[in-house]
Amino acid sequence: MRSDGDRAPLLLRLAAAGGLVYLLAPLAIIFVYAFTTEEKSFVWPPPGLTLKWFAVAWARPDISAALLLSLQVAAVATALALVLGTLTAAAVSRTRFFGRETISLLVILPIALPGIITGIALRSAFSTFSIPFSFWTIVLGHATFCIVVVYNNAVARFRRTSASLVEASMDLGADGFQTFRHVILPNIGTALLAGGMLAFALSFDEVIVTTFTAGQQQTLPLWMLEELIRPRQRPVTNVVAMFVVAATFLPILAAFYLTRGGDEIAGSGK
């Protein structure tokens, strides 16, 4: 029986606060160092604060090249994942065939597999078939896990959408394409958007698989890794880090809000 409303005990609240500090303090330090005046090493507390690193980061061509590549890879990998992931989800949830459960498991496998295994496997596959490393090898590497994210979202939504909606649409005179456009897409749209945003965010900050599948090209995370090893203007890395946090966090937040709620099964109206 709770006597004083829903307030948690003091100890629990302290523990929760401690957990949050543990999770977020390093992030805050990264942000603070983006404004420091000391460029050779990180000194705490920062001797002075400045905004000049934002201008420096903006002007450096290696950063903009890496950023552009990352955005392109993420966009193409996400597009590929949206098409393949949705089709696979539709096949698995709408039909019954021999090996359906196995396929479902195999599609999810890449995300359970350590990135390093995926990376090595792809690298050796590319060299076996003498495929030169390029923009497309990075995209293929990223697509392996992007598909899973889209697939998972789409499968969950398909499961919550009554199968008779498709039949009702066909019954009322819609062919396959019209049914997809007027009934299926509006019902799975937010799930695809959410899956796509997650996939984009995952691809945008991917390091391990990219290391194995990129040739001389640098995506933004690879550029950051190199900056840590061979720093030139240290705080610039922190400025980029802030940008990456924003670029990945906002889509994930949006995806969360888009798929939240809607627990009722679409179309089963009893």
Partner 1 sequence: MTVAVSLRAVSRHFGAVKALDAVDLDIEAGEFFAMLGPSGSGKTTCLRLIAGFEQPTSGHIEIFGERVEGVPPYRRSVNTVFQDYALFPHMNVIENVAYSLMLRKVPKAERLKTAEAALDLVQLGGYGARRPGQLSGGQRQRVALARAIVNKPKVLLLDEPLGALDLKLRESMQEELKSLQKRLGITFVFVTHDQGEALSMADRVAVFSDGRIRQVGTPEDIYQRPDTPFVADFVGSSNVLPPDLVERLAGVRRFASLRPEAIRLGGEARLTGTVVARSYLGPVTRLAIEAVGLKLHAIVPSGADLPGEGDTIGLGFDSVALHLMGTEP
Q: Which residues bind partner 1 (CB under 8 A)?
A: 162, 164-165, 167-175, 178, 182-183, 186-187, 264, 266-270
Kindly report the length of the chain.
270
- Our CB check for partner 1 shows the closer of 72 and 162 to be 162
- Our CB check for partner 1 shows the closer of 111 and 266 to be 266
End-to-end C-alpha distance for the chain, whole angstroms = 37
Nearest residue to 253 (alpha-carbon basis) of 241, 263, 245: 245
Q: What is the smallest separation between the CB atom of 153 and partner 1, expressed in angstroms?
A: 17
- Our CB check for partner 1 shows the closer of 22 and 177 to be 177
Q: What is the smallest separation between the CB atom of 171 and partner 1, expressed in angstroms?
A: 5
Place of tokens 């089709």: 87
- Our CB check for partner 1 shows the closer of 29 and 163 to be 163
Q: What is the smallest separation between the CB atom of 263 and partner 1, expressed in angstroms?
A: 12
CA–CA separation, 208 and 139 (whole Å) = 13
CA–CA separation, 222 and 66 (whole Å) = 8
Q: What is the smallest separation between the CB atom of 154 and partner 1, expressed in angstroms?
A: 16
Beta bridge partners of 49: 36
- Our CB check for partner 1 shows the closer of 163 and 250 to be 163
Alpha-carbon Rg for the chain in angstroms = 23
Phi, psi for 68 (deg, rounded to 5): -60, -45
Q: What is the smallest separation between the CB atom of 262 and partner 1, expressed in angstroms?
A: 10
